[in-house]
Amino acid sequence: MAGDITTIARPYAEAVFERAKEAGQLDAWSEALALLAGVSSDAQLVAQIGNPTVSRESIRDLILEVCGDALPGEAVNLVKLLAENSRFEAMAEIARLFEERRVADQGVRQVLVRTAFEVDAAQQDALAKALSRRLGGQVNLEVETDSTLIGGVEIRAGDLVIDDSVRSKIKQLAHALQF
């Protein structure tokens, strides 16, 4: 289902990004989408969005009422378009994809680094520099500790995955022994 939501959200996120960039409104759109994602992720609203007896117009009006004057006119138009196409469930993913594209447009790559042990600031700095050279641009590291890796590191930057964890090596060995 997550892939389906991404497929639905991507054209909206791309269109909003292109419009925001053209108008020089990337920050304003970022704030508006974050607000809409927060509102549309509320448990009570999620239940209403999934309820076939509640009209799309009612949900649209509720979202616009909750957001009030915090939404610029074009963001209001996005809410209306999502209502018209019954796509409210994609709002959080639209916001996520927009942010991903905005960061990439600024030449910064989001990189998730998972390690078996804590990584200190000096190690993070060295890793960020090495990844900047490897990926050809500035990187924004998010570091997580995951003891299930046993040892080593797993790095994810978009579609690129570098898995040098002990867990991965054990799985490769187990797979090789099966044949």
**Is the predicted pLDDT of residue 3 greater than 70, yes or no?**
no
How confident is the model at residue 2, as a pLDDT? 57
Rounded-to-integer distance, Cα 142 and Cα 164, Å: 17
In sequence order, what DSSP letters do the residues of 63-100 get, joined into one string? HHHHHGGGS-HHHHHHHHHHHHTT-GGGHHHHHHHHHH
* Whole-structure pTM value: 0.63
pLDDT in tens, 37-88: 999 888 888 888 888 899 999 999 999 999 988 898 899 999 999 999 989 8
Four-residue CA torsion sign, 101, 103, 107, 109: negative
Instruction: Find, among 177, 11, 166, 176, the residue nearest to 93 by Cα.
Output: 11
Class of domain 107-177 as given by CATH: alpha beta
Q: How many CA atoms lie within 13 A of 138 on its CB side?
A: 7
Computed over every residue of the chain, the mean pLDDT equals 89
Mean pLDDT of 20-33: 93
Tokens of residue 120, six digits: 């200190």
- Residue 83 tokens, joined: 């209502």
Range 2-105 classified under CATH 1.10.520.20: yes
Inform me whether the pLDDT recorded for 17 exceeds 80. yes
Going from N- to C-terminal start, the domains of the chain cover: 2-105, 107-177
Specify the pLDDT at position 41.
87
Of 99-103, 122-126, 175-179, the one with minimum mean pLDDT is 175-179
Closest alpha carbon to 41 in 78, 94, 98, 112: 94
Q: Are 2-105 and 107-177 the same fold in CATH?
A: no
